[in-house]
Structure 1
Amino acid sequence: MRRAALPGTALLLAALGGTAHATDTDDLLAALKRARTLAARGQAEVTVLFPPRAVPTRAANALPVVAARPALLARNFNVVRAGSDPVAGRDATRFDLTPKVGGAGHWSLWVDRAWNVPLAFEERRADGTLVRRAAFLKVNAAPVKVAAAVPAIPAGLRAAVIGALPGLRFPAGFAPVAVRSRAAGGAEVTLSDGLNVLALVVAPQDVRAAPGVASRRVGKVFVWLVGNLPDDTLRAALAGVRRASADTLGTFAGPGDSNP
């Protein structure tokens, strides 16, 4: 006669044998992955308030590319499915993303429930001030195929940046992901927390002071840090830099071919 399983054993077996449920983060990352091969087209409106520009709003037939890096996004953001909102007459799920640490930008993304691709997004400062918004007003009958690979992070880049800028403190959650050489001299390092992007520049000239811009002279060059972070956080990141050179960073310039 078969003995009945103990209640605790039954619960354990059910947990081990049951189907795992995707989290809100998993669902959003799946939509962002799909957006690399499929995208909506139609009539969109794009508003950029940082950096400031004379005409902040423009029309477009597609959303600007969101430079999402899945591994960093999953590590640095709390993702919550915040309900359903229509976008351009289509059913969409809104995901709200809040940084786990630091004062980086907060995001909302609206994902088409049938196509599973983004239809709108917003980036806001930690205090709620709008920085960027892009949303479809109308969409075509079907999405189109696209190719939007995320470049790999060059191996050894973090150590190289620290070596070129000893004393640099990366803002909470941010990591170097790419480098490009500048036509005017020096190098620009892209820092990302998975969604928000900062520009770390070593240049022979200074940059004009403005909100979201920190700069200091180090020896014969200048180091800038630009992006949607509180000014005191940007300045603190550069405060300890003891010397600066872009010489060793040029070897990392150029795109990769896969996603980290």
Structure 2
Amino acid sequence: MDELLAALKRARTLEARGTVEVTVLFPPRDTPTRAAAALPRVPFRPALLARNFEVRRVGEETIARRPATRYELTPKVGQAARWTLWIDTQWNIPLAYQEDFQDGTVARRAAFLKVNARPAAVRVALPSAPEGLRRALLAALPGLRLPAGTQPVAVRGRPNGGLEVSLTDGLNVFALVVSPRGVRAAPGIASRRVGGGYVWLVGNLPQAALDSALAGVSRVEPAALGTFLKADASNP
């Protein structure tokens, strides 16, 4: 566990470059596979990851002709996605990752096909969750049941009205949306009408788990999040 967490922290200052094949099957899209010069960033939060996931070091494999250590991450509770990470054994940074549905099928995968001779310096900032945001969110949406292991880390206003709260368990990210409009039914989306508006929850969870999270929401009190909305607007 400590070795993996150290690699994820190091990835905030150093990343591999080259040719990456990125395949995204959730949410569905017309062209699921594309090329990139670096791994698309996942906002890993090591402390939450350590709390919510069992980590197993599987062994050594090869990614883009470089030796890498494979780690498998399984949620300790709940039904969130499982992940596999491949960490370069020399540079100690990710070379590939894969997110799987609970049934083991692939939701998305990104892996280097070719790696440049040297990694590149980067600077990735990941703001801490504002103190009191969880309490304010539960006051704003009485009856909300946050998915297992998740905590709110950011809130922002939406251009067409309403607000969006980002939730994470350290690996998986969910969007909790309060909106004057509903949303079309689709895999990975739960929507509930509350008063004169709607609450959505979007993410890689079984549909029953998404629906259950919103089932008890009795009203919406967006004023409870006002302070956090102002803070977010001043720090885009």
In which range does the TM-score fall when normalised by the shorter chain?
Answer: over 0.9
Give 1:59-74 correspondences, 5 Å limit: 59-74=35-50
Partner of 1:10 in structure 2? Answer: none
CA shift in 2, pair 1:256/1:143, >3 Å = farther
- Between the two proteins, what is the percent identity of the paired residues? 64
Gapped runs of 5+ residues in structure 1? Answer: 1-24
1:48 aligns with 2:24: yes
* Rg larger in structure: 1
1-structure distance, mates of 2:221, 2:197: 8
Partner of 2:168 in structure 1? Answer: 192
Decide which of 222, 225, 230 is 2:206's aligned counterpart: 230
Partner of 1:131 in structure 2? Answer: 107
Decide which of 127, 139, 161 is 1:163's aligned counterpart: 139
1-structure distance, mates of 2:234, 2:50: 21
Runs of 4+ off more than 6 Å = none
Partner of 2:64 in structure 1? Answer: 88
> CA offsets, 1:199-244, max 9 Å, x none?
0000000000011100010001100001000000000000000101
CA contact (8 A) 1:199 1:225 kept: yes
Decide which of 182, 188, 191 is 1:215's aligned counterpart: 191
Helix, strand or coil for the counterpart of 1:180?
Answer: strand
Gapped runs of 5+ residues in structure 2? Answer: none
CA shift in 2, pair 1:256/1:114, >3 Å = farther
Helix, strand or coil for the counterpart of 1:138?
Answer: strand
* Aligned amino acid, residue 162 of structure 1: L
- How many equivalent residue pairs? 233
* Aligned amino acid, residue 247 of structure 1: A
CA contact (8 A) 1:181 1:250 kept: no
- Aligned Cα RMSD in Å? 1.3
Helix, strand or coil for the counterpart of 2:4?
Answer: helix
* Aligned amino acid, residue 105 of structure 1: A
CA shift in 2, pair 1:158/1:31, >3 Å = same
* Aligned amino acid, residue 221 of structure 1: G
Partner of 2:127 in structure 1? Answer: 151
CA shift in 2, pair 1:97/1:214, >3 Å = same
Decide which of 41, 51, 56 is 1:75's aligned counterpart: 51
With normalisation by structure 1, the TM-score equals 0.87
